[in-house]
Amino acid sequence: MTPLRFCFDPLSPYAWLAFEALPEALAGLSHSVEYRPILLAPLLAHWGQLGPAEIEPKRLWLWRQVRWLAQGQGLAFRPPARHPFNPLGAARLLWACADEGETPSRWACETVLRQIWTSGEAADDPAVLQRWREQVQAQLRRDPAGDPVRQQLRRETEAAIERGLFGVPMIEVLGHGPLAGRQFWGQDSLPLLAACLRGDAAALALPWDDPAPSVGLQRRRD
């Protein structure tokens, strides 16, 4: 069984799409998944990037594409009332659904992500977050506002940066096999991940350890 780590920020619609598509994409493959909420903003700051929603033409494209992808996956899509929103409350709520040293269950992640991306509610509104807390109450193990949960979310995000994560969703292969340490970014990387897990020769032959081509033409500054 191949262990996988699914890193995501509830802020990202692509993380939601990948989360929903993951079981079917990996059907028939021996694997296990741990779900780890992190924050995208520190990753972007570390690499000197803007978020997609901070670039207006990109933001408009994002919503068209996400709506199309959700329709193709048979998913109802009602985006949050505000986006980007502050994902701290949702991410902390998920970590509060796990004991120290554990990770949130798929059920808890599914419950919160579906509320964010199919309810149309304001995902950072305290009253909305309280209702979501009530929905996952059965799995709540810690106080979402407590320092242990706050510190864990910070540690998870810092550790993700140290591992070279630059975006979400990111699926990492764990364990000690030949695929260990490989990272698969984005909802559209699921077919490649599945191919690697199947032992597909073409996927495994990709230049995983070779450097990318050097940067080409630079923008003129004069």
Distance CA(115)–CA(121), nearest Å, equals 8
- Closest of 115, 110, 95 to residue 20, by C-alpha: 110
Q: What is the pLDDT of residue 45?
A: 97
In a domain, 178, yes or no: yes
Q: What is the pLDDT of residue 52?
A: 87
pTM, 2 dp: 0.93
In a domain, 47, yes or no: yes
Phi, psi torsion values for 99, nearest 5 degrees: -70, 160
Element counts in the chain: helices (H) and strands (E) = 9, 4
Cis peptide before 169 (omega within 30 of 0): yes
Phi, psi torsion values for 171, nearest 5 degrees: -110, 125
Q: What is the pLDDT of residues 69-81, one digit of tens each?
A: 999 999 999 999 9
- Type and span of the H or E element at 6: strand 2-8
Could you tell me the CATH number of the domain that includes residue 109?
Answer: 3.40.30.10
Per DSSP, 187 falls in state G
Distance CA(79)–CA(14), nearest Å, equals 12
| Collapsed DSSP state (helix, strand, coil) of residue 31 | strand
Q: Is the dihedral of CA 25, 51, 155, 130 positive or negative?
A: negative
User: Look-up: residue for tokens 């191949």?
Assistant: 2
Residues of the chain with pLDDT under 50: 222
Q: What is the pLDDT of residues 200-219, one digit of tens each?
A: 999 999 998 877 776 665 55
In a domain, 121, yes or no: yes
In a domain, 189, yes or no: yes
Q: What is the pLDDT of residue 216?
A: 64
Q: What is the pLDDT of residue 173?
A: 98
In a domain, 218, yes or no: no
Strand partners for 186: none
In a domain, 83, yes or no: yes
Q: What is the pLDDT of residue 64?
A: 95
In a domain, 63, yes or no: yes
In a domain, 217, yes or no: no
- Type and span of the H or E element at 116: helix 106-118
**Residue 194 lies in domain:** 2-204
Count of domains forming the chain: 1
